[in-house]
Structure 1
Amino acid sequence: MSGIVLSASVRQNLLSLQSTADLLATTQNRLSTGKSVNSALDNPTNFFTAQSLDNRASDINNLLDGIANGVQVLQAANTGLTSLQKLIDSAKSIANQALQTTVGYSTKSNVSTTIAGATAADLRGTTSYASATAYSNVLYNGTAGGVTAAVATTTLGAAQGTFSNTVAVNAADGTTAVTGTMTLIGTTAATKIGSAPADGDTLTVNGKTITFRAGSAPLAAAVPAGSGLSGNLVTDGSGNTTVYLGTAATPAATVNDLLTAIDLASGVNTSVIASGLATIANSAGQTPSSIAAGVVALKSSTGADLSLTGKADLLKALGLSGATGGGNASLSVNRTTTASSLGSLISDGASLNVDGHVITFKNAPVPGSAGAPAIPAGFGKSGNVITDGNGNSTVYLQAGTVADVLNAIDLATGVQTASIAANGAATLNTATGQSKSSINTSGQLQLSTGINADLSITGTGNALAVFGLSGNTGNATAFSAARTSGIGGISGKSLTFTSFNGGTAVDVTFGDGTNGTVKTLDQLNSKLQANNLSATIDANGLLTITASNDYASSTLGSTAAGGAIGGTLTSALTFSTASTPVQDAVAQTARANLVSQYNNILNQIDTTAQDSSFNGVNLLNGDQLKLVFDETGKSSLNITGVTYNSKGLGLAALTVGVDFIDNAAANRVLTNLNAASSTLRSEASSLGSNLSVVQIRQDFNKNLINVLQTGSSNLTLADTNVEAANSQALSTRQSIAVSALSLANQSQQSVLQLLR
């Protein structure tokens, strides 16, 4: 073999082929391992740097399990805190139930005394009152010029008004004057008015209704209850009348009947009803409406102006209107003021409300007078006033005077009283020490307030204005005046209580309610409230000072609770000895049940705190948690646990008969529960902060491992695309080298063949 000599070209091709084989082996190794550096021989720097990065990534990865366990420990503690908070809320609910339960004592500790005449509005006791005098605006009479002062005898009513119009003519020739005896309907034109009313037509007079009906009037036995028959009229006694027209063949109602019905409505006439019959008469001092020579003289009463509305044709037929047709027409008749009447006339139906009593003004003659209805049972008459004896009155306007109004006001205030006799007469007596109301020479009403109440007057209609009670502008809706009051029995006396259950000591001086003095029950309670006390007073003046609901179990004046009574009032009045609170068995049983429920909640708090562990670590039972975040152990977090059982939260088991027995005891428990709740919220915030830190470090380590592994890969990994291309190129190169070697070898053999 040593004798074989290779040519230079063969040797060169063999070397090239060997180099290609080496490169191809290297490339195939990189493709199979995926790394460009597989040993320190490939690239010592990159190899050892990548190995260091991989080692650190492995160390940090080993820490992730511990961190994950730490997260779960924190989660378990947080879950426990959430449950503990719910249990605390349940305990609060139980304590609040105790507050809402009936106070556990049927009678609380109290002291009491009786203050004669004391009321909730004035605790000072019996107070003397004097009647004061209040003045109205000036009242004038109807004398021309309007500046003549009214006097006591000035009447409320005025001179009757008269309405006269054109001559009324009959239906026959249109020229013959209507007389009072002419009928309203009929077949003979000469004996009836020009336009007949129809069945169902009405006239309205001063709010009263006159109704026309065809046919004959009923018998007395057939008229409606409370109404009465008089000729062709049926009246209800209040001014409402039905006029029976008869028939065309047999007419009935006449012009005089109609005028009578109008006067009943206006108050000019009165009716007294008995057994279905009505006795109609002129009111005292009233001139009835009439007709003469075809001219109707329609009269108002002295007590009210006249207002009439009805079918135009009917009114024209009576000469009362120029309008014609089936529609309505209206007319009015006003009274005339005189020197004997007020210059301003009061309207029918107006009223005054005096200290809660009602004075009504009515257009009618006073009952019991000639031709007027009888005095109602239970009522009494004095002048032109009918009173019920209790301060409510009616003043009759047709003859009533200013003096009658003053008497009615005095009956309402109690300045005068009325003694009602069996015959209906009322005797007025002035109360002892009082002065009757009067009218002075200037025309002002001098109203006595009386001593029963401060004077208060309101009105309806024009009553306030007519009597000068509507203020200087005439727009006031009320008139008032105060009595003169004296001093109460305990005014200037003091009452003291030492501090009761930690409250503010009380020092009260009774007075008029100004400058810090106490007059009313509300003012006294405002002082007592800060000392856990309250006061009540009954209709007999019994003042009772009681422990509040919060301290229903405490005894006033006791060594433990305090609240001893003193002051000058105790020498002026005799207070009872402070009573011992009396337990309510039912309420205390309910509160005892709540104590048991509360203690069960505390047991659940203890077990919940014990169960809030993970992997043997319980941050709510005093354990500690240490978490290491890096491979050197220099980066770590120490979490110190707490002991949050019931004792750790400052909560103690309750005792039946001691706790929840009153509201103060329940409030003390609530205070502790609120503190425990705040502690849990604070710890939850701390745990949440720590959990956030741990989760951030956990994510950081995961990302850091990826960074380290990526850095290691960047140093050692091969580019498979490049290596695959190299492999392909080297395979081609190797194939070419084999072919070249074959050619070189063939060439050498040919030379040898020539030498043979």
Structure 2
Amino acid sequence: MSGIVLSASVRQNLLSLQSTADLLATTQNRLSTGKSVNSALDNPTNFFTAQSLDNRASDINNLLDGIANGVQVLQAANTGLTSLQKLIDSAKSIANQALQTTVGYSTKSNVSTTIAGATAADLRGTTSFASATASSNVLYNGTAGGTTAANGTTTLGATIGAFAGTAATAGDGTTALTGTITLIATNGTTATGLASNAQPADGDTLTVNGKTITFRSGTAPTSAGVPAGSGVSGNLVTDGNGNTTVYLGTAGTPAANVNDLLTAVDLASGVKTVSISSGAATIATSFNQTASSVGGGAVTLRSSTGADLSVTGRADLLKALGVSSSVGGGNATVNVNRTTTSASLGATITDGSTLNVNGHVITFKNAPIPGSTGAPSIPSGYGTSGNVLTDGNGNSTVYLQGGTVNDVLKAIDLATGVQTATISAAGVATLATATGQSNSTINTSGQLKIATGINADLSITGTGNALNVFGLAGNTGSATAFTAARTSGIGGIAGKTLTFTSFNGGTAVNVTFGDGTNGTIKTLDQLNTKLQANNLSATIDANGLLTITASNDYASSTLGSIAAGGAIGGTLTSALTFSTASTPVQDGVAQTARANLVAQFNNILNQIDTTAQDSSFNGVNLLNGDQLKLVFDETAKSSLNITGVTYNSKGLGLASLTVGVDFIDNAAANRVLTNLNAASSTLRSQASSLGSNLSVVQIRQDFNKNLINVLQTGSSNLTLADTNVEAANSQALSTRQSIAVSALSLANTSQQSVLQLLR
């Protein structure tokens, strides 16, 4: 072949075609591998640099599995911590139940002593109460000018008021009015009765001092036919309280007359009294009273000494009686007022008024004292003294028709206990002044000097005008109560001290009893404020028994014991006798409940132990003391060492509880709660530490993933081919190859032409 000589053009075309084929092969190789550097021959520098980058990326990628496992180990530990925290919370709930359960002792250790007269407001006690004296406003009598002081004999009632009407006649207009004139006429004969327009009809009424007089037609019933408690006397039926029914009779047989009507008025006004027995009424004029009457054709109405008189009724009837000038079927009113004198108070008291003295009631009544002339008999169980009727228990009635200021003072003293009453079978009340007391009086200035007594502080309220009349309504006359305090003596423990040494770690107590100032103790609240810091409390009963007791927190401790402390001392112990400190008495039901809680708590501790043991991943348990080492780079220079903890119950500072020792009282429960709170804080701290480590590991995990990408991208950048360029090259080389083949063909054609010439 060496003897073959190619033309220059053919050789040139052949070389070009070979070069193009080589280039095309290279381009196709790059397109098929996607790399521009496929061997060290392509680009030694890029090839070996890319290989180094790929190797490092591979090494780091191999570390990712270990890092991922480390993340799961941390997650397992964190899950365990979360569960342990919940178990700790459950244990806290059990401990709190122990605190809320009835204290485990029916009786706690205590010491006690009795302080005579002591109360919660004043622990010093009282040796005695002395009666104080309270002064009223000045009372004046009825002397003109109103400046003359009243005295003990000044009467409560006033001078009888009298009202003389004008001369009146019967219905015929000529017959003078007399007491026997009937209230209705006989068969129209007006000379025997009132004028027809004045005659009362069945159902008509008169009102006298709030009492009712009712007119009824027909005759009065017999004693057997009257209502229970009422009595009949002639044409009148009365209830004994001033309310009366007047029976008019009939037109054929008139019954009630003017005298009957005046008797009914006097019964209502208190001028007359009635005694009722078996339905029969015995009516009499009250002592020192004057009955209303008819004389010279004129009616004279009279009040009692105990109340003014007010009569309201049909105007025509009152005009026919000559006591009113009003006419017609409407009502008219006649008032008959008393007059005050030097013998009576200047202000009259209203019938029915009351004084309430220390819970006892004094009633003022317009009537004579029971048992007196013309008065009803003394009720069973009551007794009289002067013009006072008493039940012997401090409740009294003062009768205005004969009562005096001294009678009022007597009734007040019976209510306060300054005086006592002994009631005889005959209804006589014998009064005696209580030992060491002085009766209430009225001084020369007209002031009531009221003794408070020793039973209670004085408190007087009233109804009606009683407070004002007796000067007990204050200087302005508008006060609603009159009060005064007794004088009290200071108890024997004033100035004495009481001490307690520290009880169960509390603050030792040093108490001085006094008036509550300058650091002294007066009230129970003040004492308890002092005792609270030493785990003690105090109570006092109605008999002055002061008891110092261990608090609920230390119900199992004994006061004064060597273990607990709280020994009592001070000068008070020599003045009063304290009981020996009692031993606490267990409450069986409560202790059973607390023992059940101990069992529940111990079960929680077992769950804590097993939970801590189970918090592992791939054999590594950070809650059971294992260690975790994580390598982050291929040289092992970057790593993280995580030291595990032992968080079973002992590792958390918790120990199993013992029945009869733990939860036995609130202090024991609080000790457990303190340990649980510490364990909870430990778990939270470790959770924070694990969270921080987990965050670091996850950051490095993400970093390594990103770094692998960077390394692989760098490697690719050094070796990857540009497919767009290589594709264009391939197309260009294919074209070039086609042209080269054509050129070679042309060159061969030229030689063929020469051959043809030779032929």
TM-score range, shorter chain: 0.7 to 0.9
- What RMSD, in angstroms, separates the aligned Cα atoms of the two structures? 5.1
- Give the Cα separation in 1 of the matches to 2:350 and 2:359: 21
The alignment partner of 1:682 has SS state of: helix
CA contact under 8 A between 1:186 and 1:192: conserved in structure 2? no
- Give the Cα separation in 2 of the matches to 1:637 and 1:170: 135
Q: Which residue of 2 aligns with 1:609?
A: 612
1:420 Cα deviation from its structure 2 partner: 1.0
Q: Which residue of 1 aligns with 2:129?
A: 129
Amino acid at match of 1:144: A
- Give the Cα separation in 2 of the matches to 1:195 and 1:240: 22
Amino acid at match of 2:489: G
Q: Which residue of 2 aligns with 1:408?
A: 411
Amino acid at match of 2:99: L
CA contact under 8 A between 2:16 and 2:740: conserved in structure 1? no
CA contact under 8 A between 1:362 and 1:395: conserved in structure 2? yes
Amino acid at match of 1:238: N
CA contact under 8 A between 2:104 and 2:591: conserved in structure 1? yes
Q: Which residue of 2 aligns with 1:139?
A: 139
CA contact under 8 A between 1:170 and 1:193: conserved in structure 2? no
**Equivalence map 1:278-297=2 (5 Å):** 278-287=281-290
1:122 Cα deviation from its structure 2 partner: 4.9
The alignment partner of 1:158 has SS state of: coil
The alignment partner of 1:134 has SS state of: strand
The alignment partner of 1:594 has SS state of: helix
CA contact under 8 A between 1:165 and 1:321: conserved in structure 2? no
**Equivalence map 1:687-706=2 (5 Å):** 687-695=690-698, 698=701
- What TM-score comes out, normalization by structure 2 length? 0.80
- Give the Cα separation in 1 of the matches to 2:109 and 2:461: 47
CA contact under 8 A between 2:126 and 2:489: conserved in structure 1? no
- Give the Cα separation in 1 of the matches to 2:316 and 2:571: 87
Aligned equivalent of 1:364, options 367, 391, 411: 367
Q: Which residue of 2 aligns with 1:84?
A: 84
Structure 1 segments unaligned to the other structure (5+ residues) = none
Q: Which residue of 2 aligns with 1:681?
A: 684
1:240 Cα deviation from its structure 2 partner: 4.3
More deviation, 537-546/169-178: 169-178
Name the CA shift for 1:741/1:565 in 2 (closer, same or farther; >3 Å): same
**Equivalence map 1:558-577=2 (5 Å):** 558-577=561-580
Structure 2 segments unaligned to the other structure (5+ residues) = none
1:134 Cα deviation from its structure 2 partner: 1.8
More deviation, 414-423/583-592: 583-592
Aligned equivalent of 1:392, options 364, 374, 395: 395
Q: Which residue of 2 aligns with 1:421?
A: 424
Amino acid at match of 1:90: S
Aligned equivalent of 2:228, options 220, 225, 228: 225
1:423 Cα deviation from its structure 2 partner: 1.4
- Give the Cα separation in 1 of the matches to 2:652 and 2:187: 111
- Give the Cα separation in 1 of the matches to 2:478 and 2:81: 71
More deviation, 523-532/742-751: 742-751
- Give the Cα separation in 2 of the matches to 1:414 and 1:372: 29
- Give the Cα separation in 2 of the matches to 1:308 and 1:79: 100
- Give the Cα separation in 2 of the matches to 1:186 and 1:697: 134
More deviation, 209-218/742-751: 742-751
1:602 Cα deviation from its structure 2 partner: 2.1
More deviation, 254-263/343-352: 254-263
Amino acid at match of 1:143: T
Aligned equivalent of 1:556, options 548, 551, 559: 559
The alignment partner of 1:418 has SS state of: strand
Q: Which residue of 2 aligns with 1:155?
A: 155
Q: Which residue of 1 aligns with 2:378?
A: 375
The alignment partner of 2:371 has SS state of: coil
Amino acid at match of 2:275: V
The alignment partner of 1:596 has SS state of: helix
Note the alpha carbon deviations across 1:75-129, whole angstroms, 9 max, x for none: 3333333333333333333333433444444444444445555555555456133
Amino acid at match of 1:452: N
- Give the Cα separation in 2 of the matches to 1:419 and 1:567: 49
- Give the Cα separation in 1 of the matches to 2:376 and 2:153: 24
1:482 aligns with 2:459: no
1:493 aligns with 2:493: no
Name the CA shift for 1:549/1:751 in 2 (closer, same or farther; >3 Å): closer
1:441 aligns with 2:444: yes
More deviation, 351-360/250-259: 250-259
1:441 Cα deviation from its structure 2 partner: 1.2
1:618 aligns with 2:638: no
Amino acid at match of 2:346: G
Note the alpha carbon deviations across 1:310-347, whole angstroms, 9 max, x for none: 78898888876969778x88786655444333333333
Note the alpha carbon deviations across 1:351-373, whole angstroms, 9 max, x for none: 33323333233343333333333
1:563 Cα deviation from its structure 2 partner: 2.7
More deviation, 707-716/595-604: 707-716
Which protein has the larger Cα radius of gyration, Structure 1 or Structure 2?
2
- Give the Cα separation in 1 of the matches to 2:291 and 2:743: 167
- Give the Cα separation in 2 of the matches to 1:175 and 1:93: 106
CA contact under 8 A between 2:457 and 2:485: conserved in structure 1? yes
- Give the Cα separation in 1 of the matches to 2:280 and 2:629: 115
**Equivalence map 1:500-519=2 (5 Å):** 500-519=503-522
CA contact under 8 A between 2:17 and 2:737: conserved in structure 1? no
- What TM-score comes out, normalization by structure 1 length? 0.80
1:599 Cα deviation from its structure 2 partner: 2.3
- Give the Cα separation in 2 of the matches to 1:457 and 1:174: 59
CA contact under 8 A between 1:20 and 1:730: conserved in structure 2? no
**Equivalence map 1:657-668=2 (5 Å):** 657-668=660-671
Name the CA shift for 1:424/1:688 in 2 (closer, same or farther; >3 Å): farther
The alignment partner of 2:149 has SS state of: coil
